[in-house]
Amino acid sequence: MKKIEAIIQPFKLEDVKEALKNIGIDGMTISEVRGHGRQKGHKEVYRGQEYNVDLLPKVKFEMIVNDDRLDEVLDTITTAARSGKIGDGKIFVFDVAEAIRIRNGDRGESAV
Amino acid sequence: MHFDYALLLQAAPDLTARLNAVEAAAKSAQSAGDNAWMLVSAALVLLMTGPGLALFYGGLVRSKNVLSTMMHSFIMMALVTVIWALVGYSLVFAEGSPFIGGFKYLFLNGVGKEPNADYAGTIPQGTFMIYQMMFAVITPALISGAYAERIKFSAMALFTTLWVFIVYFPMAHMVWGKGGLLNAYLGGSIPTLDFAGGTVVHITSGVSALVCALYLGKRVGFPKEPHKPHSLVLSTIGACLLWVGWFGFNAGSALAANGLATSAFVATHLAAAAAALSWMAAEWLHSGKPSMLGGISGCVAGLVAITPASGFVKPMPALLIGALAGMFCFWMVAKVKNMFGYDDSLDAFGVHGAGGTLGAILTGVFATNAINDAQINGKVIPLGLVDGNPGQILNQAIGVAIAIVLAAAGTYLILKVCDALLGVRVDRDEEIQGLDVTQHGEEGYNLEA
């Protein structure tokens, strides 16, 4: 089992959700986050007072997938979330030690 | 042509009575028209404080201070109203010395349905009183832009109470009260032209704001940490309400529903529009983008500058006054403030002090008796430079200087007293937490509630 954390542009949220649904992935957790990588922020000016806004709004996807579907899911997210510009985001993959379905106590891959 | 009145009276014996009746009906009709407009104007001026200024300033602060900032405007609608009714009206408009009025109208004694011919002969004095009250309400609220986000509520209430007595009532009496030092039409020795309150309202509040900003010091973290407006949506709604309310402020200052009111209405609107454009143009050139905040700041600057001039100038000078005010106030706010480094949080001085001073001086240039033919001792007098009276600019400058000195000295003294009795500034932890929770025990936005 792998955990995928994908940080993407907020305006790509619907595209990614749709693409994942099309390949049969229906479990995910989403949060609104702020951050930046290499992308520089923008300047805001209020009555001559300048502020650099460098923490930009992003959306973070978290989902757990079985090993055999990993590559397919990563390709799907990469394609759907790409605009080709700096700031498109990053995807990180982690090993998952255990998964438990709270409703009936299922463990392992069948709980995902 | 010769009338034989005896014959006329014979034909219609009740002619005198009928003429008297016609005269009374005409007077009553004029009074009804004037009174309707003045009551609406009074309501419009109140609308400037709440919700106008409350929204304008409320949007400019951070969300943790939105309620306290709106409170700084709202509380004036209650506090100053009570003070005005008890003693304020009398101290401004009853005859007294050249510097302060008397006690004739204490507790609004004798202020009712009958007109006061010295000020407005066609409307009940009660209407005049409530209209002028709204000016006293908004003036201290304007100052709150300078002390926002760090003043203690108790100190703010005491400051305001003392401020109207020491700064506003004397200044308003000098300019508008019968026998006031600067009153051009009612026996002032230095005739100053201030149609709707450039010196009385905007210079006093703007200069007092600067003194408050200097005395209280910068907000924690200013200017290193961002102090961004939390909602320019609120500010835009507020500024547009100010624009609308200002028609009551300026056109209402004609004190009648007449041509002068129309003239002031037109001048007011033109100046606001020109100033919105010129501020935005200046910042477009300066920082690359025209902003919503720039547009609304500009319109307020134009409205401030045209205030003393509105009942004296033709439409084209009004446009020019507005255009100059927009650029001048942008420069004051974006450049001069940063040069000196004081934290006039919402730019009460940069807009009201600077715009008010510019407007007062330009009134001396462009005021003309072609617009305002009010008479002194039965004569129409030349008003500003354009009427061939360059000396008026000096009179205006003296009026400005008196307003500046009175406001600066009075405000400093009052702050000292408030500081000694209560402490004016909240402590650092309270400031970081925000005034809404620490001063009022509530929050502006409970989005999960």
Range of the domain at B69: 28-440
Contact state of B228 with A47 under an 8 Å Cβ cutoff: no
Q: Nearest 5°: phi and psi at B185?
A: -105, -15
What chain B residue is nearest to A47 in terms of C-alpha separation? B334
Q: Which of B122, B89, B118, B124 is nearest to B106 (CA)?
A: B89
Q: What percent of chain B has pLDDT over 90?
A: 88
Partner B contacted by A44 (CB < 8 A): yes
Structural domain including A103 reads 2-111
Confidence of residue A112 (pLDDT cuts 50, 70, 90): confident
Phi, then psi, of B402 in degrees rounded to 5: -60, -45
Judge whether residue B58 has pLDDT over 70: yes
Within a domain: B45? yes
Report residue B134: phi and psi, to 5°. Answer: -65, -30
- Does the pLDDT of residue B364 top 80, yes or no? yes
Close Cβ partners of B178 (under 8 Å, ≥ 6 residues apart): B93, B95, B118, B119, B186, B187
Question: Does B223 sit within 8 Å of A46, measured CB to CB?
Answer: no
**pLDDT given at position A111:** 86
- Assess whether pLDDT exceeds 80 at residue B431: yes
Cα–Cα distance between B392 and B271 in angstroms, integer? 22
Q: What is the rounded CA–CA span in Å between residue B75 and residue B65? A: 15
Q: Closest by alpha carbon to B295, among B236, B361, B234?
A: B236
Beta bridge partners of B379: B376
Nearest C-alpha in B relative to A43: B287
Q: How far is A93 from chain B (nearest CA, A)?
A: 33
For residue B448, is it within any domain?
no
The Cα-based distances of B100 to B86, B87, B92, B253, B276 in angstroms read 16, 12, 6, 21, 37
Q: What residues of chain A lie within 8 A of the CB of B347, using their CB? A: 47
* Structure confidence at residue B172 as a pLDDT band (50, 70, 90): very high
**Torsion sign across C-alpha atoms B408, B411, B414, B418:** negative
Q: Do B335 and A47 touch (CB under 8 A)?
A: no
pLDDT in tens, A25-57: 888 899 999 988 777 778 888 988 888 888 888
pLDDT in tens, B239-280: 999 999 999 999 999 999 999 999 999 999 999 999 999 999
For testing the chain A interface, which of B333, B335, B336 should be mutated: the one with the most A CBs within 10 Å? B333
Q: What is the pLDDT of residue A109?
A: 87
Cβ–Cβ contact A50 with B under 8 A: yes
Q: What are phi and psi of B343, to 5 degrees?
A: -105, 75
Number of independent structural domains in chain B: 1
Residue A88 has pLDDT above 80, yes or no: yes
Which residues in chain A have their CB less than 8 angstroms from residue B228's CB?
A: 44, 46, 51
Predicted TM-score (pTM) of the model is: 0.89
* Residue B380's pLDDT band (cuts 50, 70, 90): confident
pLDDT at B75 over 70: yes
User: What CATH code is carried by the domain that includes residue B216?
Assistant: 1.10.3430.10
Over residues B84-110, the pLDDT tens digits come to 999 999 999 999 999 999 999 999 999
Cis geometry, peptide bond prior to residue B191 (ω within 30 degrees of 0): no
Question: What is the residue-averaged pLDDT of chain B?
Answer: 95
Question: Tokens representing B342?
Answer: 């004081």
Q: Confidence band (pLDDT; 50, 70, 90) for B1?
A: low
Assess if residue B135 is contained within a domain: yes
Note the Cα A1 to chain centre separation in Å.
Answer: 17
The total number of structural domains that make up chain A? 1
Name every chain B residue with its beta carbon within 8 A of the beta carbon of A47: 293-294, 297, 330, 333-334, 347
Predicted pLDDT of residue B3: 66
CATH code, A52: 3.30.70.120
Determine the Cα–Cα distance for residues B267 and B56; give it in Å rounded to an integer. Answer: 23
Does the residue B41 lie in any domain? Answer: yes
Percent above pLDDT 70 for chain B: 98
pLDDT of amino acid B43: 98
pLDDT band at B188 (very low <50, low <70, confident <90, very high): confident
pLDDT of residue B7: 72
What does the pLDDT read at residue B31?
A: 92
The answer to whether residue A51 neighbours chain B at the CB level (below 8 Å) is yes
Query: In 10 A of CB A60, how many CB atoms?
Result: 15
Pairing label, strands A56-65, A2-8: antiparallel
For residues B134 and B246, give the distance between their C-alpha atoms in angstroms, rounded to a whole number.
12
Determine which of A56-60, A72-76, B16-20, B64-68 has the lowest per-residue pLDDT on average.
B16-20
Beta strands in chain A (DSSP E): 2-8, 29-35, 42-46, 49-53, 56-65, 89-95
Distance (Å, rounded) from C-alpha A87 to C-alpha A101?
Answer: 35
Q: How confident is the model at residue B379 (pLDDT cuts 50, 70, 90)?
A: confident
- pLDDT at position B2: 66
Q: Fill in the amino acid letter for A102.
A: I
Q: Which helix (H) or strand (E) holds B47?
A: helix B15-47
Kindly state whether residue B190 falls inside one of the protein's structural domains: yes
**Which of B146, B188, B287 is closest to A50 using CA atoms?**
B287
Lowest mean pLDDT among A36-40, B178-182, B347-351, B427-431: A36-40
In A, minimum Cα distance to B334 occurs at A48
Which pLDDT score, from 0 to 100, does residue B254 have? 97
Q: Do B223 and A49 touch (CB under 8 A)?
A: yes
Instruction: pLDDT band for B363, please (50, 70, 90 cuts).
Output: very high
Q: How many residue contacts between A and B have a Cβ separation below 8 Å?
A: 32
> Scanning the structure block, which residue is given the tokens 């101290």?
B91
| A45: chain B residues, CB-CB within 8 Å | 283, 287, 289, 291
What pLDDT, on the 0 to 100 scale, is given for residue B384? 94
Smallest CA–CA distance, residue B168 to chain A, in Å, is: 29
For residue B194, pLDDT beyond 80: yes
Q: Is B187 exposed, middle or buried (0-12, 13-18, 19+ CB in 10 A)?
A: middle
